């Protein structure tokens, strides 16, 4: 009966593990509903796409693999040396034998430590290069997206993709993959060594391997799903923070702090639940593997204890005390990589979930792209023509309906009409921020789709109502990266648009810091800087969209003076609610419900007494309180 104890112990342990595994699996099945299991991208596809970025650095990875073999050799040789030392001590061998083995052990250990250090340095450098490449490609791809696509994606989500998600992938290239390969070699090397030393004890250890494989396969699946949920929750929190921190002044003005805090708490708690789900899935795998390790050690200790630590026979094979020590070390080295595998799978699933999110952005095809055969244009005169243009942001909801007009080169044309009539849309279509559904838009008699987008936009200067200034200095905001422009040329542009009047009052002049979105400048000052920015870039066609809205009277006079100068630079297209700013335009086009209803100069439209006359009269009465002066 005693001879069957090892088999009975192993069978009992495996039975208990089976029950625990079934219980864990059923628990995770319940967790499945909370985590959400829509599989978006296969691991094979993600791996293939990530390897494209790693391919240029294959030599570095081969070098790391070679260095890794030295560290793996230490893990294989060290237990054998320890067993030999035990045998020497037990059998009273000469001290010289012991010293020789200790020296060999020390040399192997030092070589392993040096190789580990060199390996880490190479991996960190290579991994950072790969991640830098991914970030650059991702940012360039985001830049290629159309205005419509960028408007539909929260800024916080894009920020998370470029920062958090790429950082998670960095861990995969610098740590996870190499350790997975290293642990694989260690497991194989340990098994081979154990088989060579005593195949019966090795078979005992291998009895637990099927459960390891089963646990790994099943929990890998659940870890991936849990991490996807965590990534979604992180994105929601970052998006919420990005939007609400930017609009904190509005939240405070309307006393909505508590309401926004409640909204944040909901998203934060949802992320917390996702994190707990992830830890729950991860927390089951490692203890189960550790139980397998303990069970293997118990079996080994039982067998060695049966022989009272002396040489004994196990199923026909001799087992010495030195062999027991060697096998104890090997069992530890066999299970330790598998236990580490849990943590590595943890990071790997995080990296794969992040890669999935990043490649989702990469897979968004830009709506507006260069047509085949599109060409660069070095110079344009500024003639603009719309021919029966139809456009809708959403299918079937037409914003422009058969719009046709022509602007001669050098003319100043203003578009007026009620809010939502399509004025701003016309200006956006000229720069090809969106593509029209019907009709044709021409520049200098040439369809804009035959011109490369970057080339087309380089000839336009846009000045919008909501001026965006970047963190930096006045100089950097005027230049926007344009090279070869001296400070004198920058100041000349500022003088041309009357921005020099407030810049000269600043202690640092062009080096004056610009805080987030230019909030340390007034709306009028920001607008004047946008005018200077346009002049520096010397566009052939200038676009002003409500550029004089929300401006104080004093600044409006400066802007009006600047506009009169800028009208002489080239073609100018304007949208303005203040009709007083467009009286000197060569042509005024009145838009209503996506159609042109009137067209002519200010005097012609006043004489006609139509829609423009009505708009002008309403504004004049609001300004002066009487229509008498108009007459």
**pLDDT of amino acid 38:** 39
Higher pLDDT, 140 or 38: 140
Higher pLDDT, 510 or 221: 510
Instruction: Please report the sign of the dihedral spanned by the C-alpha atoms of residue 585, residue 417, residue 443, residue 547.
Output: positive
Give a three-class secondary structure readout of 48-100: HHHHHHHHHHHHHHHHHHHHHHHHHHHHHHHHHHHHHHHHHHHCCCCHHHHHH
**pLDDT of amino acid 159:** 83
- Shared domain check, 261 and 409: no
Give phi and psi for 365, each to the nearest 5. Answer: -80, 130
Task: Give which of 153, 586, 621 is closest to 405, Cα–Cα.
Answer: 586
- pLDDT for 324-363, tens place per residue? 778 778 887 877 776 676 567 667 777 888 888 889 889 8
**pLDDT of amino acid 280:** 76
CATH at residue 474: 3.40.50.300
**pLDDT of amino acid 480:** 85
**pLDDT of amino acid 92:** 60
- pLDDT for 404-430, tens place per residue? 999 999 899 999 988 888 898 999 899
- Shared domain check, 142 and 229: yes
pLDDT band at 3 (very low <50, low <70, confident <90, very high): very low
- Whether 496 contacts 504, CB under 8 Å: no
- What pTM was computed for the model? 0.69
- Shared domain check, 438 and 347: no
* 325 domain residue, yes or no: yes
- Shared domain check, 468 and 421: no
* 561 domain residue, yes or no: no
- Mean of the per-residue pLDDT values of the chain: 79
Cα 498 to chain center, whole Å?
40
* 394 domain residue, yes or no: yes
* 16 domain residue, yes or no: no
Q: Is pLDDT of 441 > 90? A: yes
Query: Residue 358: CA atoms inside 13 Å, Cβ hemisphere, count?
Result: 29
Strands 317-319 and 587-592: unpaired
Please tell me which of 11-15, 326-330, 432-436 the model is most confident about, judged by mean pLDDT: 432-436
Angle, helix 321-362 to helix 199-206, in steps of 10 degrees = 40
DSSP 8-state secondary structure symbol assigned to residue 368? S
**pLDDT of amino acid 35:** 34
- Residue 460 CB neighbour total at 10 angstroms: 22
- How many degrees, rounded to 5, is the angle at CA 313 between CA 311 and CA 319? 50
- Shared domain check, 393 and 338: no
pLDDT band at 450 (very low <50, low <70, confident <90, very high): very high
**pLDDT of amino acid 388:** 95
Give phi and psi for 589, each to the nearest 5. Answer: -115, 125
Range of the domain at 129: 2-10+40-362
Q: What is the mean pLDDT of residues 48-70?
A: 87
- Shared domain check, 602 and 509: no
**pLDDT of amino acid 6:** 47
- Whether 417 contacts 434, CB under 8 Å: no
**pLDDT of amino acid 399:** 93
pLDDT band at 304 (very low <50, low <70, confident <90, very high): low
Please tell me which of 450-459, 543-552, 576-585 the model is most confident about, judged by mean pLDDT: 450-459
Please tell me which of 99-103, 240-244, 319-323, 598-602 the model is most confident about, judged by mean pLDDT: 598-602
- Shared domain check, 75 and 189: yes
- Shared domain check, 491 and 514: yes
Domain end: 327, 362, 397, which one? 362
Give the residues across from 447 on adjacent strands: 442
- pLDDT for 107-147, tens place per residue? 888 888 888 889 889 988 888 899 899 999 999 999 888 88
Number of domains, the chain? 3
- Whether 423 contacts 416, CB under 8 Å: yes
CATH at residue 252: 1.20.1560.10
- pLDDT for 80-105, tens place per residue? 777 777 767 665 666 677 777 778 87
Q: Is pLDDT of 16 > 60? A: no
CA-to-CA separations, 361 to 137, 144, 224, 473, in angstroms, rounded? 11, 11, 19, 32
* 592 domain residue, yes or no: yes
**pLDDT of amino acid 90:** 62
Lowest mean pLDDT: which of 205-209, 400-404, 474-478, 496-500?
A: 205-209
Q: Is pLDDT of 475 > 70? A: yes
- pLDDT for 252-295, tens place per residue? 777 888 888 888 899 899 888 888 887 777 677 767 777 777 77
* 30 domain residue, yes or no: no
Domain end: 362, 379, 401, which one? 362
- Shared domain check, 55 and 159: yes
Q: Is pLDDT of 482 > 50? A: yes
**pLDDT of amino acid 626:** 47
**pLDDT of amino acid 629:** 44
Query: Residue 137: CA atoms inside 13 Å, Cβ hemisphere, count?
Result: 16
Q: What is the mean pLDDT of residues 455-484?
A: 85
Q: How far apart are CA 453 and CA 434, in angstroms?
A: 11
* 312 domain residue, yes or no: yes
- Shared domain check, 251 and 303: yes
- Whether 170 contacts 127, CB under 8 Å: yes
* 558 domain residue, yes or no: no
- pLDDT for 149-193, tens place per residue? 887 888 778 888 888 888 888 878 887 777 878 888 888 888 888
pLDDT band at 437 (very low <50, low <70, confident <90, very high): very high
Q: Is pLDDT of 580 > 90? A: no
- Shared domain check, 471 and 398: no
- Shared domain check, 502 and 432: no
**pLDDT of amino acid 13:** 47
DSSP 8-state secondary structure symbol assigned to residue 516? G
**Class of residue 612 by CB neighbours under 10 A (exposed 0-12, middle 13-18, buried 19+):** buried
Domain end: 362, 387, 420, which one? 362
Task: Give which of 612, 566, 183, 529 is closest to 412, Cα–Cα.
Answer: 566
């Amino acid at each position: 009966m005693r001879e069957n104890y090892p088999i009975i112990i192993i069978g009992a342990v495996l039975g208990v593990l089976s029950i625990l595994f079934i219980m864990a699996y059923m628990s995770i099945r319940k967790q499945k509903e909370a985590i959400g299991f829509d599989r978006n991208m296969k691991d094979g596809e993600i791996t293939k796409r990530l390897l494209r970025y790693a391919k240029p650095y294959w030599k570095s990875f081969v070098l790391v693999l070679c260095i890794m073999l030295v560290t793996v050799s230490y893990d294989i040789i060290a237990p054998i040396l320890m067993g030999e030392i035990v045998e020497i001590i037990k059998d009273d061998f000469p001290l010289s034998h012991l010293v020789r083995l200790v020296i060999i052990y020390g040399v192997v250990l030092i070589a392993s430590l040096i190789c580990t250090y060199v390996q880490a340095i190479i991996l960190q450098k290579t991994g950072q290069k790969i991640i830098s490449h991914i970030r650059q490609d991702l940012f360039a791809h985001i830049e290629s997206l159309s205005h419509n696509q960028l408007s539909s994606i929260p800024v916080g989500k894009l920020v998370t993709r470029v920062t958090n998600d790429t950082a998670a992938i960095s861990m995969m290239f610098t740590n996870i993959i190499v350790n997975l390969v290293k642990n694989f070699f260690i497991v194989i090397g340990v098994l081979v060594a154990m088989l060579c030393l005593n195949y019966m004890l090795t078979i005992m250890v291998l009895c637990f391997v099927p459960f390891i494989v089963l646990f790994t396969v099943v929990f890998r699946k659940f870890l991936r799903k849990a991490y996807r949920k965590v990534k979604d929750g992180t994105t929601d929190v970052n998006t919420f923070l990005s939007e609400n921190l930017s609009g904190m002044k509005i939240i405070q003005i309307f006393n909505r702090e508590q309401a926004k805090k409640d909204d944040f708490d909901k998203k934060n708690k949802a992320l917390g639940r996702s994190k707990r789900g992830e830890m729950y899935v991860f927390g089951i795998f490692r203890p189960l593997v550790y139980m397998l390790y303990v069970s293997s050690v118990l079996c080994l200790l039982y067998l060695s204890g049966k022989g009272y630590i002396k040489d004994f026979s196990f199923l026909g094979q001799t087992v010495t005390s030195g062999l027991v020590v060697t096998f104890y070390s090997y069992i530890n080295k066999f299970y330790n990589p598998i236990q580490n595998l849990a943590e590595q799978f943890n990071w790997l699933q995080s990296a794969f979930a992040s890669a999935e999110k990043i490649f989702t952005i990469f897979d968004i095809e830009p709506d507006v792209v260069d047509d085949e055969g599109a060409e660069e244009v070095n110079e344009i005169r500024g003639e603009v023509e719309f021919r029966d243009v139809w456009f809708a942001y959403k299918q079937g909801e037409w914003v422009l309906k058969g719009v046709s007009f022509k602007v001669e080169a050098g003319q100043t044309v203003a578009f007026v009409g009620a809010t939502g009539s399509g004025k701003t849309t016309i200006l956006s279509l000229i720069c090809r921020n969106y593509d029209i559904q019907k009709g044709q838009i021409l520049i200098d008699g040439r369809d804009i789709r035959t011109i490369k987008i970057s080339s087309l936009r380089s000839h336009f200067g846009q000045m919008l109502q909501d001026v965006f200034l970047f963190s930096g200095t006045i100089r950097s905001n005027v230049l926007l990266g344009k090279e070869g422009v001296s400070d004198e040329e920058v100041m000349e542009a500022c003088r041309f648009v009357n921005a020099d009047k407030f810049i000269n009052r600043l202690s640092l002049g062009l080096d004056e810091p610009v805080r987030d979105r230019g909030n340390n400048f007034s709306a009028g000052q920001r607008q004047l800087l946008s005018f200077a920015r346009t002049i520096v870039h010397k566009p052939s066609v200038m676009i002003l969209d409500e550029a004089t809205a929300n401006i104080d009277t004093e600044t409006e006079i400066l802007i009006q003076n600047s506009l009169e100068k800028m009208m002489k630079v080239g073609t100018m297209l304007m949208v303005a609610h203040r009709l007083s700013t467009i009286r000197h335009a060569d042509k005024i086009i009145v838009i209503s419900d996506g159609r042109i209803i009137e067209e002519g100069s200010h005097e012609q439209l006043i004489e006609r007494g139509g829609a423009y006359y009505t708009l002008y009269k309403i504004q004049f009465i609001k300004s002066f309180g009487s229509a008498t002066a108009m007459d």
